[in-house]
Amino acid sequence: MVERNSTINSRVDNPLSNDLRIIFVAFVKTTTAALCREAEGRDEMFVSTRWTIVLKAGESAATSVQSLNALSELCRIYWRPLYVFLRKKGYGHEDAQDLTQGFFAHLIETRGYSHADRQKGRFRAFLLTGLKNFIADARDRQHALKRGGGIVLVKLDDHTETQIARATKWDAHEVYDREWAACLVRQALGRLAQECALAGKAELFGCLMPRLAATEDSRVPYEEMARRSHRAVSTLRHDLARLRTRYRAILREEVRGTVREAAEVDEELRYLCQALAGA
Amino acid sequence: MQPASPEILICQDCGCVLDETSNGALGCIACLMRIGIGGEAAVSQDSTLKDFERDARFGVYEIERRKDGSLYELGRGAMGITYRAIDRTLQRKVALKVIKLGIAGPSVEARERFLDEARAAAALRHENIATVFQFGIREETGQCFYAMELIDGETLEERVLRAGPLDVHATIEIAQQISSALAAAEKRGLMHRDLKPANLMLVNANESEVVGRTRNSVVRRTRCRTGREGKAELSVPLVKIIDFGLAKALNAPVDAMPLLSDCFVGTPAFASPEQFENAALDIRSDIYSLGATLWFAVTGKIPFEGHSIEEIRRAQRLNALPTKQLKAAHVSPALRSLLKSMLVVEPAARPRPHELAARLQYCSAQPKGVHYGHLTIAAAAILVVSATAFLFFRRHGGDADVISRDPLGRD
């Protein structure tokens, strides 16, 4: 939700062009209308995972609004890893931003997702390979740069460039994997925050979230938290346990959305953990 | 998270540098990602948790509840959660450790291996090792658990963090108790594998009588009180090692530890160099961990720090031990030498438990309560005073003769 807001704000602030805004608005209107008609099928969509729908759309002759929406949502979420990858490849700030947006526009215009490999089925690998092909094709790139992205405009915070400059240990691929993992975590935490807010527990979430990953109970300052939140220590312990359980389920759902088979979730999580620990 | 430098934040759990994951504000991405690992069986933990909370029974053990109805949790670690429970058959209070789903492995073979290792660990009886009553697997959920004696006290880690480092005498006493336990374990071919301050329970004095310490022994221990800065607490309580053999039991299956690479088991700051190498381990690995633990007890610091497992590993091999920390803590040369020998990289150069016991005995025989720095200063002071007195009396002794002669002369 936070990212969605920042996206909207960035459209207002971003001087790229009115064309982009018009394309974006048109796209949103189209998909919204279609989604209203298909409201009943939306839950099913998330159950069957967005990636599966994109793969199915690639097989069908007509472009499904539903799959386009799923793809654009995935692009919105995973925009940043691609951008960071390009920056680590030596592209300047503006070029990297334009290329990323251009790539997504190109992907949807040309129905590039129809080339997705059903056997491998990793959205992470699919996007990176697609981006590499895209930047290797200068003609397509020029085309994309003229048209712009129009679907996803993500405002990068000021800290991003500093972080990219500081990540000297890793090459572009490693940074891409790390960013991918961070996106999944951010997405899961965002959903968890939203659920807590709906339940009227936003404040409690803010208090417990920093301790979500604590493996040692002794490192959680329950006493201090209890004073601040006016809750018993034992209650806080259970709150944290429940929050962790729910976060875990959401994170797995997010990862499930990027792989084809449920059995691949653990494998993908382990891969990303190793990428993060590869320092 | 702790600041390692003005710029760098590190994760205390996994050692990852947080700012370079480009998401320092979120916390440790690796730890947050790792929460999700654990097979589909663990995904249903929501419902499992509800069942678990409704009927918190594990065989004959029933987890106790607090006044607000929540389960009586004693502690939480990487492997599982420890609860206070009651054995309904014997009406005995126990500490019940419930292993996290997915850690002991989902397969029947993995569970069998867990039970085999657990049985071996449970067979080990020693006054300084928390007695394990029973290991088991909860059929409804497949969760492994074990019940051990309930110890009223705090861990060495908690003590040091709460009240500061221990004095040298208390540290030696604790070391003697642990080395005795390690010697017993070595005879049975067992080792702990995750010896650290958080796995050493300091038993409350009253409790030590309850668990069967001899009267004399308790009295001897309770008489030892620290004189440091008015901390009127027991400085040398009975020590009990907890989770003995559990690390091995849980590490044996290939799919047992959903941790990062190579199924590393242990706590990096206290792990031996050979643990990082995935090499064959024996009791000397525990000796290294004990050395690091004693170092922490007496200084409040760990000998080799690092932002990641790799940095700690490199520091162990390349850096000299920061012995200034020991000198600042007034550790005697004999104990300094012993700690250094326990922390050498090569396992063969470390003392075995019986040699360790002998050297600790020597260390404990050294004068108590007098710091070596003070002894040196005192000796120097005596020397200076003696020399001054000698010179004074020599000179003034001559004058006295003159003075005494004058009256005589006048006489």
Structure tokens at B202: 């300091």
**Residue B172, pLDDT above cutoff 90:** yes
Report residue B62 CA to chain centroid gap. 29
Show residues of chain B in contact with A262, CB under 8 Å: 40
- Strand, coil or helix: what is A25? helix
Please give the pLDDT value at position B3.
43
| C-alpha–C-alpha distance, residues A117 and A125, integer Å | 10
Separation CA A97–CA B355 (nearest Å):
66
Of B42, B70, B78, the CB nearest to A234: B70
Mean of pLDDT values over B340-354: 94
- pLDDT at B410 (0 to 100): 35
- What is d(CA A247, CA A250) in angstroms, rounded to the nearest whole number? 5
CB contact under 8 A, B36 and A251: yes
What residues contact residue A80 under an 8 Å CB cut-off, 6+ apart?
A154, A156, A160, A179, A182, A183
Question: What are the domain boundaries of chain A?
Answer: 2-166, 172-277
What is the structure's pLDDT at B378?
A: 62
Whether residue A202 has pLDDT greater than 60? yes
Ranking A210-219, B104-113, B281-290, B362-371 by mean pLDDT, the lowest is B104-113
Those of residues 115-174 in B touching chain A at CB distance below 8 A are 155, 157-158
The distance of B247 to chain A (nearest Cα, Å) reads: 16
Question: Is B78:A216 a contact under the CB 8 Å cutoff?
Answer: yes
Q: Specify the pTM.
A: 0.48
b (16+ CB within 10 A) / e for B348-374: eebbbbeebbebbeebbeeeeeebbee
Give one word for A150, left, alpha or beta, with left for phi > 0 and alpha for psi -120 to 50: left
Q: A50 falls in which pLDDT band (50, 70, 90)?
A: low
Answer with the residue of higher pLDDT: B269 or B149.
B149
- Averaged pLDDT score across all residues of chain A: 69
Q: CB of B28 within 8 Å of any CB in chain A?
A: yes
Q: If you average pLDDT over residues B281-300, what whole number do you get?
A: 94
Is the backbone of residue B38 left (phi > 0), alpha (psi -120 to 50) or beta?
A: left
Residues 6+ apart with CB under 8 A from B153: B201, B202, B203, B204, B207, B237
Q: In this complex, which of A185, A215, A235 lies closest to B68 when CB atoms are compared? A: A235
Cβ distance A218 to B78 less than 8 Å, yes or no, reads: no
Confidence of residue A264 (pLDDT cuts 50, 70, 90): confident
What mean pLDDT comes out for the span B227-256? 57
Higher pLDDT, A98 or A112: A98
Size of interface A-B (CB pairs under 8 A): 144
Helix orientation angle between A233-256 and A172-198, rounded to the nearest 10 degrees: 130
Q: How would residue B44 be classed by pLDDT, with cut points 50, 70 and 90?
A: very low
